[in-house]
Amino acid sequence: MSDSKITVIGSINMDLVTSTNVIPNQGETVLGTNFLTMPGGKGANQAVASAKLGGNVTMIGSVGSDVFGEELKANLKEQGVSVEHIGQSADAPTGIASIILSNGDNRIIVVPGANQGVTSAMIEEKEEMIASSDVLLLQLEIPLETVEKAAEIAKKHHVKVILNPAPIQPLSEELLEKVDFITPNEHELALLLKRIQSKETKKDLYEKLIVTKGAEGVTYYQNGREHHISSYKVEAVDTTGAGDSFNGAFAVGISRGMTKREACQLGNAVGALSVTKLGAQTGMPTQQEVEKFLEKMK
């Protein structure tokens, strides 16, 4: 079965990655071991994860009129993502993420820059394109009102919506009602549930939940029951982008008509493979690598 169309609306960043053996305390200076610039941003990461699995992916986002912006668009195109709907801001620089890696863990500071230019008005102009999609994948590194508008348009045209609520922030019950799947990690889930007052909304939300738990795997809910899928045991080199890898793969699974469980299993495998290499996008596996990995794990 050929893939249906996946549209990703979200952030496009350049990751500035510093590796160190020691994370500095306040006021302390330490020596790093390496520095790299690597393509990132949750939206772009998830688009690349889907495209590397053979997904039919279009990206909606914004970059600055600078070198990083040109590099990031070229990279997305090279990875198989359609970039014709990516805008270019003359007023803001391309977004960046400053990442500190230490012993397989990471700490991240994001400066949104041109990602703030992904406005509701921009999304309204893309309604026809969104309406022609089968799956819409969203995150929260662009303005929240933009996410709400995109979900509203998708719902209007019966497009399936996957929302990765990261970085977590208060979400309206109206937005939650419009999404088909929501993919928080455990920390994000706790904050998400804490902010929901309506028991009915909370009950409905559980049926949409796909909870990623890192090395412990993923939990999803169906017909009022909790189901757990264990992760694959791998040696982690860099956990940056693992959640994005899962989300991109899950979107591909849904676009291919997989069940919720099958899409989660695909996401688990892709997420596991992604942490075995350095870099968010560079660590994401191809369809062939995933098939080889799953065959090995039988």
Flag whether 56 is in a domain: yes
pLDDT tens for each residue of the chain, 298 residues long: 456 899 999 999 998 989 999 999 999 999 999 998 999 999 999 999 999 999 999 999 999 999 999 999 999 999 999 999 999 999 999 999 898 989 877 888 889 999 999 999 999 999 999 999 999 999 999 999 999 999 999 999 999 999 999 999 999 999 999 999 999 999 999 999 888 878 888 888 999 999 999 889 999 999 889 999 998 888 888 777 899 999 999 999 999 999 999 999 999 999 999 988 877 788 899 999 999 988 888 7
Known catalytic membership, residue 244: yes
Flag whether 277 is in a domain: yes
Q: Decide: 200 and 250 in contact? Cβ < 8 Å.
A: no
Q: Which of 3, 66, 180, 244 is catalytic?
A: 244
| CATH number of the domain bearing residue 207 | 3.40.1190.20
- Report the distance separating Cα 243 and Cα 222, nearest Å: 21
Residue whose entry in the numeric block shows the structure tokens 């920390």? 187
Flag whether 29 is in a domain: no
Q: Which residues pair with 226 in a beta bridge?
A: 221
Range of the domain at 160: 5-23+34-297
Annotated binding site for ATP: 185, 212-217, 243-244, 268
Flag whether 241 is in a domain: yes
- Report the distance separating Cα 116 and Cα 93, nearest Å: 10
Number of domains in the chain: 1
Annotated binding site for substrate: 13-15, 41-45, 141, 244
Residue 104 φ then ψ, to 5°: 85, -5
Count of CB atoms within 10 A of residue 146's CB? 24
Strands (E), the chain: 5-9, 13-20, 32-40, 56-64, 82-89, 95-102, 105-111, 135-138, 160-163, 181-182, 210-212, 218-222, 225-229
Flag whether 185 is in a domain: yes
Flag whether 268 is in a domain: yes
Burial of 81 (0-12, 13-18, 19+ CB in 10 A): buried
Q: Cα–Cα distances in Å, from 42 out to 7, 95, 96, 217?
A: 14, 11, 11, 20
In the structure encoding, which two tokens stand for residue 155, read together? Answer: 């719902």
pTM of the model: 0.92
Flag whether 28 is in a domain: no
Flag whether 266 is in a domain: yes
Residues in the chain: 298
Annotated binding site: 13-15, 41-45, 141, 185, 212-217, 238, 240, 243-244, 268, 274, 277, 279
Q: Decide: 15 and 240 in contact? Cβ < 8 Å.
A: yes
